[in-house]
Amino acid sequence: MRAAIDIGGTFTDVVLFDEKRGKIFSTKVHSNPKYPNKAFIEGLFHIRKYLDSNHEDIQELVHGTTIVTNTILEGNKACVGMLVTEGFRDILEIGRQQRHNLYDLMIDPPKPLVPRHLIKEIKERINADGKILSPLNIEDTTRIIENLIENGVESLAVTLLFSFENPVHEKQIKSIGLKYMPKDYIFVSSEISPEFREYERASTTVVAAAVAPQVIKYLNELEKELTKLNGSKIKFTIMHSGGGTILPGNVKKQPHKLVESGPAAGLMAATQLTKVLGIKRAISFDMGGTGAKAGIILDGTYQYTTEYEIGGGIHHSQRLKGSGYPVRFPMLDIAEVGAGAGSIAWINPGGLLKVGPKSAGVIPGPACYGKGGINPTVTDAHLVIGHLAPDYFLGGKQTLFPKLAIKTLINLSKTVNLPLEETAQGIINIVNVNMLRVLELVSIDRGYDPRAFTLIAFGGAGPLHACDLAEKMAIKNVIIPLLPGVFSAWGLLFADMSTYFVETVMLNLNLKNIKKINQIFNRLSLKANQFFEKNKVPSKNRSMDISLDLRYLRQNYELNVKYDKLTMLQRDLVKIKNQFHKIHEANYGHYFSNAIIQIVNIRIMASEKLSKPGFSKIKLASNTSKAAKYGTQNIQISNYIKKYKIYHRSILRADHVIHGPAIIQEE
């Protein structure tokens, strides 16, 4: 049996797949941003209860977490000491000189994660070919590390120039550092991100060092809890931002890989669903209490991005470059907006109604929760209009108080001078516009016509908004998966254990270089096979996804091209070149058929393909094509009343046709 615990901003989702009984057990508990392990322990408690009552054990637990992002954003980062090549002390401060707000003369760049007095220059130099120009001075380095420790440094980030070509000096520094601190607290860039572009390499290494102590502490606590649950028999894995899982031991070595651990899961689940249903093009839309995320699925695969800034700002769903701390790792390409069911409606100084980005969060939550919230939220608006049943929220686990929602909305409606129901509808319309922006960003903005796509909506609030959004995007088909509220956690159950290896090549793509290129392929596949051996992956489950980062010679940015072999033959050259021209044209509108192409990096994603829990088919209705109505509800919008039929999803069958307006309730 496989279980998943996915910690989100508002709720923590728990899913357990009981293969024997073909049953899914799921529940939601409140997240605790301050002590994230509390929600995990509570989730485990529910899993244990299910297991005990069915006399079962689980073999595997997959976890989605926000610990890395929270550690960076909430300031309980480690005191990091940083060692750089002489002359590079200001690498973090200088960054890429990207202004995230071009016309604001007073913007503050993000404060470097390591203060300048804890960044020390080391006398050494390796050139671009990996040759040592001046050797490392062991005595000086030892003295510098001792000095950093005296200054209260907990963890160490080492990033030297061209260490991805020759890591020998970084290795030497690591072995010196081991005399002063545990190995889990020393991070060297040639292990964390062995690629060219020193700022991104330095930033990724520093992020790893800054979150390591918290992440290690957190994982140790979780592992202790798991031992209580099922001895040491349970396989515990964590979702990484590349859409795969990773063992805790490897997280401790590379904690930066967990940056977008949670959001990745929802897109994974939606991808699996499209494979089962044979859907070629889909947009996955996940709307929870504090945020919404969208991603695109083409032919059963999701898209990757290597550009991500932790703690960075978002404006109109577009990530603001230069506003956060770059972390380099292939991640699922997901657009995000800070608006969800808990977003607070407010009036701006110009008298306009606005929704978010402030959220009522877990505590106090929306006003209608009756937990002391006084601000009107999207959930309150839904309740006032009648989209939510007060006694059937979270399957009856959370009672809603319509009176409290009305009270807070009346105040707002007086300010905007609109009837109560119109104010409520206004809040929903405004939050829908925010949601549309993320959907457009992954479709129209990237050159895809949303009309050819299916919308897969989930998360606590996704289904409530899906039909409105589909109508506005002219999307014809909407899929609401079963148990939409915990669908993200369901995605954790589909995740394969994976890791990736990369090597910077910097060679022109031609016959002369094929031998050298193949040597790199050999080195990378050797590493991938070592990973499989070490983790005891049976050979039938081994899978490698190979790709090349290419650019025209003298260009500054590369594009990723998929490749399907571990050796390159002469006849493959033309194929690769044509593929690159095509991708270049798709991205920039043109290509250069005669230009020399340069290979910048070769990447291998190694993953263990496991058998997936299946989706069970919904039975066909026995005799009638009419679904059983549960009741009706009048919904009043201004002066006019709409009659909504209410259905329970559990008694709906596959061929039922429902004529709206209708509300479908699900436990």
Shortest separation between residue 364's beta carbon and another protein, angstroms: 39
Question: Of the two residues 117 and 554, which places its CB atom closer to another protein in the complex?
Answer: 117
Q: Give dist(CA 298, CA 547) in Å, integer.
A: 18
* Contacts with 644 (C-beta within 8 Å, 6 or more apart), sequence order: 386, 632, 633, 634, 635, 661, 662, 663
Q: Give dist(CA 269, CA 256) in Å, integer.
A: 23
Phi, psi of 326 (to 5 degrees): -60, 135
Shortest separation between residue 214's beta carbon and another protein, angstroms: 25
Q: Give dist(CA 370, CA 355) in Å, integer.
A: 21
Shortest separation between residue 430's beta carbon and another protein, angstroms: 41
Which single residue is written with the structure tokens 């989100």? 8
Question: Of the two residues 86 and 666, which places its CB atom closer to another protein in the complex?
Answer: 86
Shortest separation between residue 205's beta carbon and another protein, angstroms: 20
Q: What is the DSSP string of 520-546?
A: HHHHHHHHHHHHHHHTT--GGGEEEEE
Question: Of the two residues 49 and 116, which places its CB atom closer to another protein in the complex?
Answer: 116
Question: Of the two residues 120 and 257, which places its CB atom closer to another protein in the complex?
Answer: 120
Which single residue is written with the structure tokens 């972390």? 327
Shortest separation between residue 116's beta carbon and another protein, angstroms: 4
Shortest separation between residue 118's beta carbon and another protein, angstroms: 9
Question: Of the two residues 89 and 523, which places its CB atom closer to another protein in the complex?
Answer: 89
Find, among 314, 359, 309, 356, the residue nearest to 335 by Cα. Answer: 314
Q: Give dist(CA 128, CA 116) in Å, integer.
A: 26
- Amino acid making up residue 298: L
The Cα-based distances of 609 to 10, 152, 249, 332, 615 in angstroms read 31, 44, 20, 18, 18
Question: Of the two residues 89 and 235, which places its CB atom closer to another protein in the complex?
Answer: 89
Shortest separation between residue 106's beta carbon and another protein, angstroms: 12
Question: Of the two residues 117 and 540, which places its CB atom closer to another protein in the complex?
Answer: 117
**Are the beta carbons of 7 and 39 closer than 8 angstroms?**
yes
Question: Of the two residues 117 and 659, which places its CB atom closer to another protein in the complex?
Answer: 117
Environment class of 373 (CB within 10 Å of its CB; exposed 0-12, middle 13-18, buried 19+):
buried
Question: Of the two residues 89 and 281, which places its CB atom closer to another protein in the complex?
Answer: 89
Question: Of the two residues 127 and 227, which places its CB atom closer to another protein in the complex?
Answer: 127
Cα R_g (the chain), whole angstroms: 26
Q: Cα dihedral angle (121, 122, 127, 128), rounded to 10 degrees? A: -50
Shortest separation between residue 117's beta carbon and another protein, angstroms: 5
Find, among 517, 621, 505, 508, the residue nearest to 569 by Cα. Answer: 517
**Are the beta carbons of 366 and 404 closer than 8 angstroms?**
no
Question: Of the two residues 87 and 395, which places its CB atom closer to another protein in the complex?
Answer: 87
Question: Of the two residues 120 and 382, which places its CB atom closer to another protein in the complex?
Answer: 120
Shortest separation between residue 207's beta carbon and another protein, angstroms: 21
Angle between helices 168-177 and 138-150 (to 10 degrees): 50
C-alpha distance across the termini of the chain, in Å: 23
3-state secondary structure of 288: coil
Shortest separation between residue 557's beta carbon and another protein, angstroms: 23
Tokens of 394: 């979270």
Question: Of the two residues 42 and 121, which places its CB atom closer to another protein in the complex?
Answer: 121
Shortest separation between residue 115's beta carbon and another protein, angstroms: 6
Find, among 428, 439, 424, 446, the residue nearest to 316 by Cα. Answer: 439
Which single residue is written with the structure tokens 């009043």? 636
3-state secondary structure of 18: strand
Q: Give dist(CA 86, CA 76) in Å, integer.
A: 29
Shortest separation between residue 613's beta carbon and another protein, angstroms: 54
Find, among 344, 352, 317, 298, the residue nearest to 437 by Cα. Answer: 317
322: left (phi over 0), alpha (psi -120 to 50) or beta: left
Shortest separation between residue 89's beta carbon and another protein, angstroms: 7
What are the residues binding another protein (CB under 8 A)? 89, 115-117
Question: Of the two residues 52 and 129, which places its CB atom closer to another protein in the complex?
Answer: 129
